[in-house]
Amino acid sequence: MRERYDLLIIGAGPGGYVAAKKAARLGMSVLIVDKKEVGGTCVNRGCISTKALIHSAMLFHDMKECEMFGLSAENVNFDLQKIYEYKDQSAAAMRQDLETEFAELGIRFVKGKAVIHGGKNVHITMDDGSVEICHGKNILIATGAKARYADIPGMELPGVMTSEELLTSNESQYGRLLILGGGVIGLELATVFNALGTEVTVIESAGRLLPKMDKEFSEALEEILVERGIKIYKESVLERVTDKNGLHCHFVANGESKKVDVDAVLVSVGRKPNTEGLFAPDLPIRTEKGAVVVDDFFMTSIPGIYAIGDVIGGVQLAHVASAQASYVVERMNDLEPTNILDMVPTGLFVKMSIIPSCLYTDPEIASVGLSEEEAKKYGVPVRCGRCIMKTNGQSIIKKERTGVIKVVFAADSDVLLGAQMLCPRATDMIGELATAVANGLTSRQLMYAMRAHPTFNEAIASAVEDSRGQKISW
């Protein structure tokens, strides 16, 4: 007799595990299936692992620069193997916490490959080859995405890898690393290996790094990275990789053919939805370019089967998958959803995202809502305010030389439409402004609350106050 569950989840990443915990707390019987460990790519080969490496790399950088604070440290060095062990320990600790929560909440976790058949039945093949068939009153697909390789000769060569492979390849320290792609993942890992002494080259096909980010901030970050010795080639194309006595990367930059010799190549050109082998041949579920198609309520073309996160395309961020997970489970239980992902601000006719975006470089970058560029594109008059961080007390204490916080308000209603930050702790501070955008707060309302001194956070108040005296920007 097959097991039956109120909710059967495929994928145990930040979409799947959040859905499982919320559903169990609401009294639903839950089964969650994953081919690998609890936590998915985010915990084991992505977000958590990358941020652990960033923390180690930044500590190493700070230790080398500690003389400016009156300290001294001799023979400062690192052991890459131990850094990777620390990274693995961080992921293991989070996995253990999740497994403990699953047990406490009565959530059943099964490690195996799931295939969805008709009638909302799921066939799960275990590592030993045995098959279990389970039925879900509701099925949630949260299988995420996998790294995409570029269609370039030489991508199959040893030493050419994706971020997931790089994060699990801890056998050597790379003296020279080429990163294909100037997006979030590529630049975070560029920061890590540059801080650890690797000679890093970044090749980006667009005219600037982080093409979707406010131009002022992407250009500021590029200046910082170049100053630290990272070589950056924009509007450039990697043509091929060869491996005669090492890896040789042949590319075109500004119409000129170039070659750089490296120890490894990181391919960071995006991720594609992970749906391979997920659906039985007779299951008529709708997909487009590999992504599962869903409606506004995240239901697929088959009633009772939902999909969230990277597998549906769109914004591929862990916290987006988690928010979508909460939304879907709450709707299954006839509850008013507590998360919103986009909105139309008062007095405007532009639907805008309120998803915070974070880049864990040094300094960090974070943004939410509309940028000034986007507001001009939509014809929305705005009033912007800035705070240059070099005058901030904490910046002076920590000898931070660069940084800016920018806020964007609607010129007529004074409602906050967006914010961008480049400074230490930006990824923590963006939460305040995301809350303000989601609740339609004005600059006056944002000034009601005092912010402690000295903190990086008090610069938000300075930026908001600055906006109140600025001219309208079209």
Looking up residue 287, the CATH number of its domain turns out to be 3.50.50.60
41 and 141 inside one domain: yes
pLDDT tens-digit map of 330-389 = 999 999 888 777 777 766 667 778 899 999 998 999 999 999 999 998 899 999 999 999
Among 269, 287, 319, identify where a domain stops.
Answer: 269
In this predicted structure, what is the pLDDT of residue 172?
A: 65
Asked whether residue 442 is domain-assigned, the answer is yes
Whole-number pLDDT of residue 342: 77
> Which of 317 and 8 is assigned the larger pLDDT?
8
Give residue 169's pLDDT band: very low, low, confident or very high (50, 70, 90).
confident
Looking at 237, 269, 301, the residue that finishes a domain is 269
337 within some domain? no
Give yes or no for residue 474 having a pLDDT over 60. no
Look at residue 347 in the predicted model and tell me its pLDDT. Answer: 61
Does the pLDDT of residue 213 top 80, yes or no? yes
pTM for this prediction: 0.92
The arithmetic mean of pLDDT across residues 432-459, rounded, is 95
Residue 187 belongs to a domain: yes
In this prediction, residue 282 has a pLDDT band, given cuts at 50, 70 and 90, of: confident
84/177 same-domain check: no
Query: If you average pLDDT over every residue of the chain, what do you get?
Result: 93
Is the pLDDT score of 160 beyond 60?
Answer: yes
Same domain, 142 and 291: yes
Same domain, yes or no: 117 and 29: yes
Do 457 and 416 share a structural domain? yes
Residue 344 belongs to some domain of the structure:
no
Question: Percentage of residues in the chain with pLDDT exceeding 70?
Answer: 98
**Same domain flag for 264 and 124:** no
pLDDT given at position 409: 96
Per-residue pLDDT reduced to its tens digit, 21-33: 999 999 999 999 9
Identify the domain containing residue 108 by its residue range.
3-146+272-332
pLDDT band at 418 (very low <50, low <70, confident <90, very high): very high
- What's the rounded mean pLDDT across residues 74-103? 94
What span, in angstroms and rounded, lies between the C-alpha atoms of 171 and 345? 51
* Per-residue pLDDT tens digits for 146-155: 988 889 999 9
Count up the domains in the chain and report the number: 3
Question: Does 453 participate in catalysis according to the annotation?
Answer: yes
Tell me the average pLDDT across 8-15. Answer: 97
Whether residue 280 is predicted with pLDDT greater than 70 in this model: the reply is yes
On whether both 46 and 183 belong to a single domain, the answer is no
Residues 137 and 211 occupy one common structural domain: no
pLDDT confidence of residue 402: 87
Nearest to 310 by CA among 358, 273, 341, 354: 273
Q: 99-134 pLDDT, tens per residue?
A: 999 999 999 999 999 999 999 999 999 989 999 999
Residue 341 has what pLDDT?
76
One domain for residues 84 and 140: yes
Give the per-residue pLDDT at 397. Answer: 95
For position 171, what pLDDT does the model report?
Answer: 62
Regarding whether 89 and 78 lie in a shared domain, the answer is yes
Model confidence at 8: pLDDT above 80: yes
Catalytic residue among 55, 135, 250, 453: 453
Asked whether residue 277 falls in the same domain as residue 265, the answer is no
Q: What is the share, in percent, of the chain residues with pLDDT greater than 90?
A: 81
Q: Are residues 251 and 394 in the same domain?
A: no
* pLDDT value, residue 472: 73
Q: Which amino acid is at 286?
A: R
Q: Among 269, 303, 318, identify where a domain stops.
A: 269
